[in-house]
Amino acid sequence: MHTISFPHLTNAHTFPNLLTSFPPFSSPAHFSPISVHFPTAPRNYRLRASTNESTPSTSTSTITVDNSDSANSTAFVIRARNRIGLLQVITRVFKVLGLSIDRAIVEFEGDFFIKRFFVTDSHGNKIEDLENLERIKRALAEAIGGDGDGTVSVVKSTANRGIVVRRAGLVEGFGERKAKAERMFSLMDGFLKNDPFSLQKDILHHVEYTVARSRFNFDDYEAYQALSHSVRDRLIERWHDTHTYFKRTKPKRLYFLSLEFLMGDAALGNGGLARFSACQMDSLATLDYPAWGYGLRYEYGLFRQIIVDGFQHEQPDYWLNFGNPWEIERIHVTYEVKFYGTVEDVDRNGEKHEVWIPGETVEAVAYDNPIPGYGTRNTINLRLWAAKPSNHFDLEAYNTGDYINSIVNRQRTESISNVLYPDDRSHQGKEMRLKQQYFFVSASLQDIIRRFKEAHNNFDELPEKVALHLNDTHPSLSIAEIMRILVDEEQLDWNKAWNIVCKIFSFTTHTVVAEGLEKIPTDLLGSLLPRHLQILYKINSNFMEELKKRIGLDYNRLSRMSIVEEGAVKSIRMANLSIICSHTVNGVSKLHSDTLKMRTFKDFYELWPEKFQYTTNGVTQRRWIVVSNPSLCALLSKWLGTEAWIRNADLLTGLRDHVDNTGFRHEWKMVKRLNKMRLAEYIETMSGVKVSLDAMFDVQVKRIHEYKRQLLNIFGIIHRYDCLKNMDKNDRTKVVPRVCIIGGKAAPGYEIAKKIIKLCHAVAEKINNDADIGDLLKLVFIPDYNVSVAEMVIPGADLSQHLSTAGHEASGTGSMKFLMNGCLLLATADGSTVEIIEEIGSDNLFLFGAKVQEVAELREKGGALKVPLQFARVLRMVRDGYFGDKDYFKSLCDTVEVGNDFYLLGSDFGSYLEAQAAADKAFVEPEKWTKMSILSAAGSGRFSSDRTIREYAERTWKIDPCQCPF
């Protein structure tokens, strides 16, 4: 007999982490006797292995394995104190381990029962492998004994996924209290089931009891709400298990601080930075990293774009109008955030200290959004803060009868989290924006520090347990805030605090040009956050002293590197602050990083070359293939012979093996056609334009910006139209028909970008109504481009355009999504395109335009630049009012007039047209095109955000995966 003993339920225990690293069950092998003994009682005891054949004592519960009792099965003899639900727990453990119970015998001995389970493995055999027996015993022990956190996990026999078995939460105490706890457990001793029947039942349950509609009368939206709640319930279970597990194992955690997340329905961000944050959250969860996302729960997300008469109009996106079934409001997770006030000197042990006496208080309430990983039980959290009325009333005002004004003032402060700033570059000099930043930083850090203090009692451990990531400079007030907390509140010595702080921050910048970097006027900062301004000055003066020692009295360089910018508007340079305090400064592509080192942050690079890294962006294949292109997803799994690429995108290279297989190529084409059909229907619904599926679907979707050069695309379309008009009928039949699709939002105050949208509509109006042209050329503007629209457009594209002037796109992530979907790229050698070429080869995309190192010289030439005649002609057509609104487009044309063409449309136009011609040429050879398409997808694995996150985790954050066991 081999015995495992475990304490019974009257004590709370912390089991060592028994089940984290179970490999799949190995095949039965030699069985040698071993027993594991858990002494009764103490907390935090360690698991001891011994060879004792212990006799069960009357006070402990035991699990004994007996392989001699039956020829065909293994007997597990469990002696335990009887309690409601325990037998169910035990049988469930066997079940999830893939074992069958042939028969069971039960005897009672006072409060205890002794149950003998005769068990076989999934092949109906006796279990003899020592390791397997050990695992089963431990799983049973943990299920019956447990560690007081209310859950226990069991590895299922073969697969990577499994079911978690719950056991009673071990509430300390006796008698009635304990009986209550056990009663509660028995009322809910298992997890929600995931079979179709249980799900259907749950959905109806939510229709009736959450949405409060009758099961015989509810609409689609209510069905969606009920469905979301049913899924959310399951996510909550996983979320609890994950966080309980993190709490128990205390890994180093990453806190990803970002003012923007573009998850999808919730448009809480502008463009690339925000969508990239969302992809990163998906990868963090999938790769089991112990991470938290922190953001703001804007009530108005990014504006909705509507088009009236070809002009962009902005409408508020009150996305919470119908509630958000996915989030969990945590009314009890609330922090006070303070603003304004003064700094006063206080005496602390004979020393003078500065202390902030704030003047205004707002409350931050947490809203949690579970982020499930794929193929893992881990479910992490995106915690978004909303501003709420504070309980701190202005008593004075109330007492003096100024009741109404007092309430109005409160409402003003509550509006902090109302609206997302709709610029995708810098936001300067806006008090509300600064308030948002500090509100976010203060609430997040209070939450992080609270969690840290719950488990640790020494701030020296902070760098081993906490990584704070600054997603761009928007959250960089965190640096001043954490210094304030450590020095003013926790009373750490300044230098000690600074040393700690410099080890916890990392920083990624998503901007290229210095002018795009955030600056905050000191007047504004000093009035809103007087103590923080002092702290920033002190950080800066220490840094300047240090720097003088390193570089001497080079005042120009000192002033460039200073956190404080002197001048007409004295300001704090948030990027300099972030670089000085972060251990790592990340670029988002190789090219971007080179630009940072050689230009934007050259002075800093020369000082600290080791801080500068790059981690090329990525996107999640789970959303951009699995969710948005189910047909391609099925095709990939079929031909790769596995679904493993969903967690390991490198496997997509396996497509190269099939590129010459005509059957595969045929299926590939069918998938594309299906997606084009879906997109064509959408286009017809949105714009009334009917498009031909035989045409090349040529797409440019992204924020509208001069550097992204949508204007170059429109000029190319005008040129194509002009050529078609001048062709004879016979020649026209040789032209590749195109459906040109443009979509994107312009920042509301960005006049030129808005004119580009109007021009696009004006040109479309002309072309689409020209009977001469018919299906040969169509131009459609897709309004309100967002994540959901992208999911429709990207899979349906044949060609996608990424036209930024070289050196202006930090990385670009849209191109990666198109690449994964087998869409060919027409692009400049900018941002991550350079790395895409390394993966797929320059033969499989259409490259054009000036290289990054040529741009400066071209700009210098100015008026002497040569532009092709075609460019001049197209420009003339617009100037002369060929598309109407001559006066309105004048200023737009001026931006690209020779001598004033900062983004080099004129000088790149020739090579752009050549690249377009090459695309046409390839398209008329469907087999060649399809091969290029397959090879594009095959080379997209490197651009999975899983790779990005792994690199960040290993090199920057130094965190390890922490997989919630099951």
Active site residues: 510, 702-703, 708, 813, 817
Instruction: Give the Cα separation of 607 and 610 in Å (integer).
Output: 9
Q: Which residue is nearest to ligand NBG (CB)?
A: 272
Q: Would you count residue 753 as binding ligand NBG (CB under 6 A)? A: no
Nearer Cβ to ligand NBG (513/693): 513
Nearer Cβ to ligand NBG (562/589): 589
Q: Which amino acid is at 117?
A: F
Give yes or no for a contact between 246 and 960, defined as CB atoms under 8 angstroms apart: no
CB neighbours (10 Å) of residue 865?
15
Nearest distance in Å: CB 598, ligand NBG: 18
Cα 893 to chain centroid, rounded: 39
Nearest distance in Å: CB 804, ligand NBG: 8
Chain residues 619-648 in contact with ligand NBG, contact rule CB under 6 A: none
Nearest distance in Å: CB 546, ligand NBG: 31
Span near ligand NBG by CB under 6 A; candidates 271-279, 321-329, 564-572, 856-864: 271-279
Contact code string over 529-568 relative to ligand NBG, x by CB under 6 A: ----------------------------------------
Nearest distance in Å: CB 752, ligand NBG: 17
Span near ligand NBG by CB under 6 A; candidates 41-49, 291-299, 436-444, 811-819: 811-819
**Which residues have a Cβ under 8 Å from the Cβ of 637 and sit 6 or more positions away?**
643, 645
Determine the length of the chain: 966
Instruction: Give the Cα separation of 949 and 946 in Å (integer).
Output: 5
Q: Would you count residue 273 as binding ligand NBG (CB under 6 A)? A: yes
The binder of ligand NBG chosen from 92, 206, 510, 623 (CB under 6 A): 510
Write the CA distances from 660 to 288, 365, 649, integer angstroms.
37, 57, 21
- Cα–Cα nearest to 161, from 371, 379, 376: 376
Q: Would you count residue 616 as binding ligand NBG (CB under 6 A)? A: no
Q: Would you count residue 809 as binding ligand NBG (CB under 6 A)? A: yes
Chain residues 813-842 in contact with ligand NBG, contact rule CB under 6 A: 813, 831
Contact code string over 405-424 relative to ligand NBG, x by CB under 6 A: -------------------x
**Which residues have a Cβ under 8 Å from the Cβ of 818 and sit 6 or more positions away?**
699, 794, 797, 800, 825
Nearer Cβ to ligand NBG (146/831): 831
Q: Would you count residue 812 as binding ligand NBG (CB under 6 A)? A: yes
Instruction: Give the Cα separation of 53 and 65 in Å (integer).
Output: 11
The binder of ligand NBG chosen from 811, 828, 945, 948 (CB under 6 A): 811
Burial 866-887 (b: 16+ CB within 10 A, else e): ebbebbeebbebbeeebbebee
Nearer Cβ to ligand NBG (350/749): 749
Span near ligand NBG by CB under 6 A; candidates 267-275, 290-298, 372-380, 760-768: 267-275
Span near ligand NBG by CB under 6 A; candidates 86-94, 266-274, 644-652, 864-872: 266-274
Nearer Cβ to ligand NBG (463/812): 812
Burial 149-186 (b: 16+ CB within 10 A, else e): bbbbbbbbbeeeebbbbbbbbbbeeeeeebeebbeebe
**Mutual angle of helices 630-640 and 662-687, in 10-degree steps:** 170
Q: Would you count residue 617 as binding ligand NBG (CB under 6 A)? A: yes
Contact code string over 21-50 relative to ligand NBG, x by CB under 6 A: ------------------------------
Beta-ladder partners of 585: 507, 612
Nearest distance in Å: CB 511, ligand NBG: 6
The binder of ligand NBG chosen from 810, 913, 949, 964 (CB under 6 A): 810
Nearer Cβ to ligand NBG (276/300): 276
Applying CB under 6 A, the site for ligand NBG has a residue count of: 15
- CB-neighbour burial class of residue 681 (10 A; exposed 0-12, middle 13-18, buried 19+): middle
Nearer Cβ to ligand NBG (113/276): 276
Contact code string over 706-745 relative to ligand NBG, x by CB under 6 A: ----------------------------------------
Cα dihedral value 876, 878, 884, 889, nearest 10: -120
The binder of ligand NBG chosen from 272, 301, 530, 795 (CB under 6 A): 272
Instruction: Give the Cα separation of 931 and 929 in Å (integer).
Output: 5
Instruction: Give the Cα separation of 797 and 788 in Å (integer).
Output: 15
Q: Would you count residue 271 as binding ligand NBG (CB under 6 A)? A: yes
Question: Terminus-to-terminus CA distance in the chain, angstroms?
Answer: 28
Nearer Cβ to ligand NBG (273/596): 273
Nearest distance in Å: CB 703, ligand NBG: 8
**Mutual angle of helices 196-209 and 220-249, in 10-degree steps:** 110
Q: Would you count residue 588 as binding ligand NBG (CB under 6 A)? A: yes
Burial 471-481 (b: 16+ CB within 10 A, else e): bbbbbbbbbbb
Nearest distance in Å: CB 767, ligand NBG: 30
Span near ligand NBG by CB under 6 A; candidates 272-280, 606-614, 864-872, 903-911: 272-280
Place of tokens 């054949």: 53
**Could you tell me the two tokens for 297?**
């729960």
Nearest distance in Å: CB 817, ligand NBG: 11
Cα 839 to chain centroid, rounded: 24
CB neighbours (10 Å) of residue 707?
16
Give yes or no for a contact between 647 and 375, defined as CB atoms under 8 angstroms apart: yes
- Which residues make up the interface to ligand NBG (CB under 6 A)? 271-273, 276, 424, 510-511, 588, 617, 809-813, 831
